[in-house]
């Protein structure tokens, strides 16, 4: 099994429409989405104008917002139908099972064969 965890602050359980997980092929997973900035109440426009005149304003944002995407390449084929994903407290968790070792089978071929049987080499 493969376990993928991604911290996505601002993305809660109620925002699955902003997140997608899809397979691009049998060994590659793509996670993409968009995180929007939380809107919080602030000061009135008049107060902002007054503060701008009296002192310099500096804003720092440590949280990434906007669109994102990330590819994950697995070293083996995985079982797409059995993969699961969920978000809890801003953490994405994806569980991807590996494909069990394939069962080897012999296939019957219809028609005449033009191949000669392998020559057995006896003791020399």
Instruction: Give the pLDDT confidence of 5-49 residue by residue, as tens digits.
Output: 988 877 666 566 788 999 888 889 999 988 776 655 555 666 666
Q: How many domains does the chain have?
A: 1
Specify if 103 maps to a domain: no
Beta-bridged to residue 84, according to DSSP, are 95
Rounded Cα–Cα distance for residues 11 and 67 (Å): 12
Is residue 93 left, alpha or beta, with left meaning phi > 0 and alpha meaning psi from -120 to 50? Answer: beta
Collapsing DSSP states into helix, strand and coil, what is residue 109? coil
Q: What is the pLDDT of residue 88?
A: 86
Q: What is the pLDDT of residue 40?
A: 55
Specify if 15 maps to a domain: yes
Specify if 23 maps to a domain: yes
**Structural domain span for residue 71:** 2-38+62-96
Query: 86: domain CATH number?
Result: 2.60.40.790
Specify if 119 maps to a domain: no
């Amino acid at each position: 099994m493969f376990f993928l965890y991604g911290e996505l602050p601002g993305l809660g359980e109620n925002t699955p429409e902003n997140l997608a997980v899809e397979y691009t092929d049998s060994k590659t997973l793509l996670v993409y989405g968009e995180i929007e900035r939380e809107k919080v109440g602030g000061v009135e426009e008049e107060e902002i104008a007054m503060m701008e005149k009296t002192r310099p304003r500096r804003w720092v944002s440590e949280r990434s917002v906007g669109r994102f995407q990330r590819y994950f390449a697995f070293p083996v084929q995985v079982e797409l139908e059995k993969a699961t994903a969920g978000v809890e407290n801003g953490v994405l968790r994806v569980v991807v099972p590996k494909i069990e070792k394939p069962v080897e089978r012999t296939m019957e071929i219809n028609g005449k064969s033009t191949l000669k049987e392998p020559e057995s080499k006896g003791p020399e």
